[in-house]
Amino acid sequence: MFLKRFDLHGFKSFKDKTSLDFNEGITTIVGPNGSGKSNIADGFRWVLGEQRVKALRGKKGEDVIFNGTTTHKPLGVSSVVMHIDNSDRHLNTPYEEMKIGRKIYRSGESEYSINGAVCRLKEIHDLFHDTGLGKDSFSIIGQGEIDNVLNAKPEDRRGMIEELAGIVKYRNRKDESLKKIASAELNLTRVLDILNELKSNYDYLKNESAKAERFLELKEKADQLELSLIVADITERDSELSVLEEELSNLKDSVAGLLNQLEEKEVTYEQNKMTLLSLEDILGEKREHMLSLKDLIASLNTEIIKDETLLTSLEEKSETISTEINELANKKETLATIYEDKLVEQKKWQSLINNQKIEIKEMELKLKNEVDNKDRLYNEEQSIHHDLIDLFQTIAVLNNEIKSAEEDQEQLHKKSLYFVENKQQLEDQLGAFSKTIETTKEALAKLEKELRQMNAAIEEKQHRKKALEHEKALLEEDYRKENRVYQEVNSKYSALKDIDREYQGYYSGVKNILVEKENGHFKSIYGAVGQLIEVDKNYEKSIEVALGGALQNVVVATSQEAKKAISFLKQNHKGRCTFLPLDVIKERQLGNNFKPLLQEKGVIGLGKDLLKVDSKFQLVVNHLLGNVLIVDTVDTGIAVAKKANHQIKIVTLEGEQFNPGGSLTGGNNGKISSLLSRNRMINELEVTVAEKKKVLNAIETKGDSINKELYPLEGSIAASFIRRKDLENEVGALNQKLALMKQEEAGKVDKIASMDFDVANTRDEIEGLDKEKDLLNKRLLEESERKETLGELRESKKTEGESLKSIIEKTQTVILNEKMALATLEEKENALGEFLAAYYLEQDDMVSLNERKTTQLNEIETAEKEAKVRLDENQLLKKDKENEYESLIVFIQERDTGKDNLRIENMSLEKEIKNLNGAVKKEETVLHEKEIKKAKLETDKQNKLAILQEKFELLPFEAMEKAIPLENKEEQRKEQEKLAGEISRLGAVNIGAIDEFQRVSDRLLFLQDQEGDLRESIDSLQTIVNDIDQIMISRFKEAFTELNAAFKETYNALFNGGEAFMELTDKEDILNCGIEIFSKPPGKTPKSLSSLSGGERALTALALLFSFLKIKPSPLCIIDEADASLDERNVINFANYLKTYADKTQFIVISHRQGTIEGSDTLYGVTMDKTGISKMISVSMDKK
């Protein structure tokens, strides 16, 4: 493998996207300090997964993102991508080309990628394990890190040996096995803890289970007795209610007869009363009308007087306002005369002020011109001063140039003689290359044509391959997403199926019956109600509440089959269960008197109509929900229950329940039974799982199709690459040969031409120097004369400037005096302006007042006309109302006589009605007492029925079938109390202990099996770890011995003598010991590594690096200024060693040293302009 390209974008100083194309061999990167060379090495380290920020010369992770300059904003993301040619399959992957990428955002988020697909850091580490580029390898040497291996602790050095020995993967496997052992031991500890805890509770649960079973036995007897007593009580209540019903019927008939008589009397009485009220209303209206007429006449008298008074007042006001309007007109004329005089005076002052301002402005302009002249003279004087300084320097330079020209003439004479002597020798060597060059060109043209055809074919194949890989990557991403959803849905579906299969949530008795049915027993059992119905999600809660415990009732074909099932439960102590025999149960219906409630607002319908069920079981649904109303809200429920007189069951969508008799159940009891929603969710998830599986299969099929085309295409591309490589090598060799030949030919031609040019040029230069000397002498004379002239001119400017300074001061004084005079004029003009403003205000007030007075005068004249008209109308109206008043007095006297006759008749009717009311009240009292007695009996009966339904989950006819005959109720009640006492003596009973004891017993057996499995797993893993240790020890010893020998040999060659070797710190602990390095430069006694010079330390570290490469060549090695501390001789040695290994290792070297640069195959330059952004320059280093 080798590195083809390296892309940086936003990484440290590389703001713009920068690509470095690499070839095999040695690539050197050069550039001035601070230009960003080492940032490239940091980029390699970073993209391979470096996590230590300090190793990247930063303080925090986001320091690798371009942080901006004075002219460029910071970027928000940094990315680095390595493009690797893997056609030799050095990396354990089927891809011929690999792209390793890393990206970080300023928010702190980061990601790694392989061929564009996001991956984990571990996957990158695994990819480069044992390739020589692992995280512990010696293949990337950063700036100043060449001797880190020498400074490191002995224990830290072994990672490089492990990478060399190829045991990193074994150590990783060992670590994984140890983690599994630790996890298994932790699980074993947990299992043992749980076993101890279960064993400590086992005996207690056993006793509690036995006590619970005894409790259930006693409770069954007590419930049977209680059930029989309740049935007997209900029978008695039915008899008593029958007698009461007959008595109540007779009483109601008697009361009805009395009420008919009473109604006739009351009708006559009410008719008379209504007639009286009608007369009273008519007379009241007439009397009120008479009073209103009286009041109106009085009011009209008052209005007439008021209008007469108002007319007199309005006439007086009219005269007053006319006088005031005349006075205002006179005052306005007087003020107008004064205003004209003041206006003339104001214009006079304004004229003076304007003249004064013009005069001041002219003087200020004059002052500005004088100041500008003064500044100009000063600047001219300074300019002349600087020119004088420049002239002094110019004269000195001219003297030096004249002397230099004389020396150059002497050298040029000698040079001209040398060129003439060597020109003839070069002309004799020019002609031998022409024919050879032509032959080489023809061969090269044929190879280049074949290479172009090959490149076109490869490009077409690669384009298709990239398209297929892109399509495959998209498919893989889709598969991952769809598979993740599929796994989540399938897991949830499996969990729900397991829960449903184990009948979790069902009562113990119900669960056991359903299990027996599943095992092939009780074939006439169809299942629990919850299994047989399907409910819309919106009605699940209301239907579950409406059904309550009946949701777990088991539907059977016949009562005989139910009897067999009950017998099974009793004999095996498997709990209790309610059965619904299809041959016995009756359907319940909503009474006709309640059917109108279905039309009420908010009533959704009957429970039986809101679910789906097989027609075979419709009877069950009608039996359980045939008379249950479902409504939307509690408020609707309250209203509907009231209209039903609290005689039917009502349930809201949120689960509030209105029971017959008036009780209301509601609130929040956590999650309600999910039996109904469970079935729905299983069906929905089953469909979703099938759909997702279908999608995954389609993606896999498409992926297989792509692979069938992709794999042969990759083989074809690989073959084409090999042929292209051969062609490129042949073309390169010919090009190199041709270029060398042309270069040599052109060199000789250029040298001959250069010789001719140099001879002619030398003569021209000699003549030019003669002319230059004459010009320089002439210019020297001119500059000396100019110096005298400039000195005199500077003194003249200085004198003129002093004169202008005095004139400016006088002008400033005059301007100040003129401005003070202007201020006095402006004050006088402002006083006149204030007077005129006051006049404007007063004139406006007089105009406004005049308008108001005129308006008032008009209003008064209008009011006079209106008052006169109103006075005439009131006098006519008063006369009409007085006549109407007299007529009303006669009408009222006639109606009073008829009213007295009706009152006498009603007094007689009142006595008869009173007697009848007394008789009715007496009969109703008796009736009420009977109804109270009936209500008590019904309430008692309803309470008994409620107990049957809520406690025993039985209907009355079912209870009568289950009840036993009672000979003596009192004796049976005593027996009931005895059983209750025995149950009480048992104390607190945990019914769940029966199932819990069974669960604990099963779990105890399961955990004991788990304990054995875990111990066996730990032993197996420990054996694997021991085997891995033996492999690692063997490989480590072999690699260490081989590296030590290579280190000694390489060290001796680099130092031209001396000795170096490595030793293990603990030979008994090969897997964990450290590695000591000893270095003895030639002629020196052995000392510690810290006593070596910088160059010796660097050379020792390089010897170790080349030893690694000798034993296990790394495909890529990055070295950042490792030669900085070497002298020139050792730099050349270093460069030669790089060439030695360049055929197997691709070197990328960052250096300033000439020897290293000269040994490079490719040269990159890094520059940084004023903007603070690094740029790259590539230079090809062709060699003979």
Contacts 24+ apart (CB under 8 A), 987-992: 989/211, 989/212, 989/215, 990/208, 990/212, 991/212, 991/215, 991/216, 992/212
- Order across the sheet with 77-85: list the strands: 18-21, 2-9, 77-85, 97-105, 110-114, 117-119
Residue with tokens 């052995």: 1086
pLDDT at 671: 45
Residue-level pLDDT at 103: 92
Q: Which pLDDT value is given to residue 55?
A: 76
pLDDT at 102: 93
**In what helix (H) or strand (E) does residue 102 lie, and over which residues does it extend?**
strand 97-105
The series of mean pLDDT values per 10 residues for the chain, 1184 residues long, is 89 88 89 86 87 80 85 88 88 86 88 89 81 70 70 78 74 81 83 76 78 79 77 78 78 78 77 77 77 77 77 75 74 69 72 78 78 76 71 66 70 69 66 70 80 84 84 83 80 72 77 86 86 87 86 90 89 87 88 86 91 90 91 91 88 89 75 64 84 85 79 69 74 74 70 70 73 75 75 74 73 73 71 69 72 78 78 78 76 73 75 78 79 78 74 70 74 77 77 76 78 82 84 85 86 84 86 86 71 80 82 85 83 85 88 85 83 74 47
Residue-by-residue DSSP string for 225-282: HHHHHHHHHHHHHHHHHHHHHHHHHHHHHHHHHHHHHHHHHHHHHHHHHHHHHHHHHH
* Whole-angstrom distance, CA of residue 451 vs CA of residue 734: 13
Question: Strand pairing of 18-21 and 1116-1120?
Answer: unpaired
Number of alpha helices (DSSP H) and beta strands (DSSP E) in the chain: 19, 24
Eight-state DSSP code of residue 108? S
- Three-class SS of residue 659? coil
User: CA 1058, 1064, 1065 angle in degrees (round to 5)?
Assistant: 115
By the 10 Å C-beta count (0-12 exposed, 13-18 middle, 19+ buried), 722 is classed as: exposed
Helix (H, G, I), strand (E, B) or coil at 24: coil
Let me know: does 138 contact 1104? Beta carbons within 8 Å. Answer: yes
3-state secondary structure 79-92: EEEEEEECCCCCCC
- Where is 1031: in which H helix or E strand? helix 992-1055
For position 630, what pLDDT does the model report? 94
HSE of 315, CA atoms in CB hemisphere, 13 A: 8
pLDDT for the residue 987: 78
Task: Return phi, psi of residue 137, to 5°.
Answer: -80, 170
**475: closest CA among 783, 710, 262?**
710
- What the block records as the tokens of 812 is 């400033």
Closest to 500 (Cα-Cα) out of 690, 693, 676: 676
pLDDT of residue 714: 67
DSSP assignment of 758-779 equals HHHHHHHHHHHHHHHHHHHHHH
Helix (H, G, I), strand (E, B) or coil at 663: coil
- Contacts for 916 with CB less than 8 Å, ≥ 6 apart: 258, 261, 262, 265
What is the model's pLDDT at position 83? 93
To which H or E segment does residue 911 belong?
helix 675-950
**Tell me, what's the pLDDT at 1183?**
47
Angstrom distance (rounded) from CA 67 to CA 839: 72
**Could you give the C-alpha distances from 565 to 220, 533, 551, 770, 868, in angstroms and in order?**
17, 22, 18, 137, 112
Domains of the chain: 1-139+1116-1184 (3.40.50.300), 528-672 (3.30.70.1620)
